[in-house]
Amino acid sequence: MKLVETKIKDVFIVEPDVFGDHRGFFMESYNKKKFEELGLTFDLIQDNHSLSAQVGVIRGLHFQNHPKAQTKIVRVLTGAIYDVAVDLRKGSPTFGEWVGVELSEDNKLQLVVPKGFAHGFCTLKPNTQVLYKVDEYYSQEHDSGILWNDPDLGIDWPTTDPILSEKDRKQPSFKDYVKQLETEYTEAG
C-alpha cells in the first residue's frame, strides 16, 4: 500500500497492493494497521455506498460541519468517477482550492478526504458504485454543502449538463459559505 500526495496538504491518494492472476485479483482496500503506518490515524465507523445509473451524475459538494465533520476514504467498486475535494479549512494556505482525481474499478485508487473539506464526484461510466468509509456518523443537523459549479471554485468537471439532486442544485455559493463562516466566528467572539 502506497500513499501519494496531492497538490493540497492532507488530501492523499491511496494505491493499494493488487495481486492478480487468471482468476481475477485480491487486494486489501483497508487495513487499519497499514493506514496508521502511513500516518492515517482515524477511526472509521461507517460505510456509505451509492449507485449512479447514468454518466454525468454529480453528487456534491457535501460536508458536515464541526463538531461532526468527517474524514472520508473514497473508492469505486464498479465504473469510474472524477472525485473532487475542496479545502474549506479557515486559515489554510489552500483555502478554496480543489483537487480532482479519477477513481475507477480499473485503477483501484482511493482518495482520502480529511475533515474540513467539501467532497463531490461526477460519474464517468454508467452503473458506477462508490463506497466510502467515514470516521463520524451522519448528522442531518451538521449536513451542509456548496454549489457544484460555483464560479469562485472553478472546478473543471467532466460534464456541463450534469444529473443533479434537487438538494445539490440549490446548495449555497462559496461566497455565501464564507460569509456564514465569518458570521459564526464573529458571533462566537
Residues with a catalytic annotation lie at 62, 132
Residue 14 to residues 71, 101, 131, Cα–Cα distance (Å): 14, 11, 14
Radius of gyration of the chain, Cα coordinates, nearest whole angstrom: 17
Length of the chain: 189
Q: Which residues contact 176 (CB under 8 A, 6 or more apart)?
A: none
Question: Phi/psi of residue 52, each to 5°?
Answer: -120, 115
- Reading the block at residue 29, the C-alpha cell is 482496500
Preceding omega of 61 cis (within 30 degrees of 0): yes
